[in-house]
A and B are shown apart, each in its own frame.
Chain A
């Protein structure tokens, strides 16, 4: 699976959009990008995933660059409850889900 790189921490003002970047320059054509978040003392929570098209769901939007070497998770209106560690990871189509997590980005949403 592709190695991913994320900034260790970011701040965001409450009500503003939070844009979390992820670099996955070694991603292969059949690997999906997955995003999870982990709120303190809870298990990781699935957010969204994509292959090459932009994706949106009730939690967030995922923008993947055309060359697929990087992506951005967008929380359109961050709230204090969005404070968490956000993980970007990749796994191939048809995988049984054995995800490898890096250190993630600690997002702090401030009032």
Chain B
């Protein structure tokens, strides 16, 4: 199994630009999660989907952030416009919906907003 695949691995952009992070969950998994990790705040849950439907987006910091899951094999997290404080590592994870807390994480996207 290829695991959860995230792209790009690294993204450097300038303040004000749009950033799109991509995630391909493990085939057959029906829950997908976006986390953000910084030194100050640790791992934060931003949003999660179940069967492609957003269930809880209360962790999304601002309206500048949006996430979509158009089908079971693809999700995006978009930041528009980006700001320096958005610099972080963004992780995507997937799980079988009835497996409780057993998540499989991708390798993350390191985002730097200059």
Q: Tell me if A's interface is mostly helix, strand, loop or mixed.
A: loop
Contact indicator per residue, chain A 10-22, by CB within 8 Å of chain B (1) or not (0): 0000000000000
Q: Does A102 contact B (CB under 8 A)?
A: yes
Residue in B45, B105, B107 whose CB lies within 8 Å of A98: B45
Measured between beta carbons, the chain A residues less than 8 angstroms from B103 are: 36, 44, 46, 97, 99
Residue in A43, A96, A103 whose CB lies within 8 Å of B91: A43
- Contacts A43-B91, A43-B108, A44-B43; is A96 near B102 (CB within 8 Å)? no
Q: Complex formed: what's the CA distance from A46 to B45 in Å?
A: 16
Measured between beta carbons, the chain B residues less than 8 angstroms from A43 are: 4, 91, 93, 105-108
B residues engaging A (CB < 8 A)? 4, 31, 33, 35, 42-43, 45, 48, 50, 55-56, 91, 93, 95, 97-108
A residues engaging B (CB < 8 A)? 32, 34, 36, 41-46, 49, 87, 89, 91-104
